[in-house]
Amino acid sequence: MQSSIKNIITSLCLSAVEHMLSPIPSTVCGPLLFRIQQFPATRSRAMDIISEKFMNNVYVNKNSLENQIRCILNDYPVVENETLKPWLLQIISVIDLTTLSGDDTRSNVIRLCQKAANPLKCDLLNKLGIDNNKLKTAAVCVYPARVPDAYDIIKQMGLTDTIQIASAILITQVYKASMISMSAGADFIKTSTGKESVNATLPVGLVMCRAIRNFYQLTGVKVGLKPAGGIKTARDAINWLVLVYTELGPEWITPDLFRIGASSLLDVVEKSLDNCTKVAPKGDLR
């Protein structure tokens, strides 16, 4: 079921944006931030290749980084309602629906899991022509003490194979930390806990995307990205999808390789989808 859900939603997204997104370039808006030689390798050899000398020679041009973010978002605008819909649906499929309050109760976790299983209201699904059985969030994220509660309710809904349960530094350090984490065996690297004063930012995301790309060039191993914290609007989430699409390709905007950690984003996306079914000025994305 999970595979078919991914394929359906990915097809929805890619068919709508295929006409406006050109093939993924090897460079975007200027020179690569990192120069790296390509080696045939595996993850087990990564620590041999990614040596201390390699890490000491990493340099990130901050101005170039910020300029490239502006260039990516300007070159690949997503504003029309018919274009917005597949992007918004794709966002739902990669959300790790989160509750990390210290006073969480079983009832809170149950409501979270039910929302993950039924992310949109029935009337909106009908307007969009979407089958509710084919749209779920990627996962729910709770504190370890509440994992049994989450597992119980997801098991009762028969969705254990569909919904998973998961329990400020220098830019150069972001790249180094990303490479070290991937070399140590991480399947995903995450921008932040979501509980910091500064969380997921696009410049940091670009650095992490380049690290993922370079690691893949070195080892042939694909590692996922999870931005978390500060992604409050549908536009924020779409910007992350556009960034990952342009830097890493369409395969990386599926739940296998991309997640958004969020607690309130799903409700915002639902409202934006509802707005898309109404007559609204172009670019009216709240």
Catalytic residues: 161, 190, 226
Residue 254 Cα distances to 45, 217, 251, angstroms: 27, 20, 6
Q: Annotate 195-208 with three-state secondary structure.
A: CCCCCCCHHHHHHH
Cα separation, 178 vs 169, whole angstroms: 12
DSSP-assigned states of every residue in 44-55 = GGHHHHS-HHHH
Return the closest-CA partner of residue 66 out of 207, 250, 169, 167.
Answer: 207
DSSP 140: E
3-state DSSP assignment of residue 228: strand
Q: Is 13 exposed, middle or buried (0-12, 13-18, 19+ CB in 10 A)?
A: buried
Tell the residue number behind the tokens 């191993």, with chain if given.
Answer: 221
Show the CA angle centred on residue 76, arms to residues 203 and 182, nearest 5°. 40
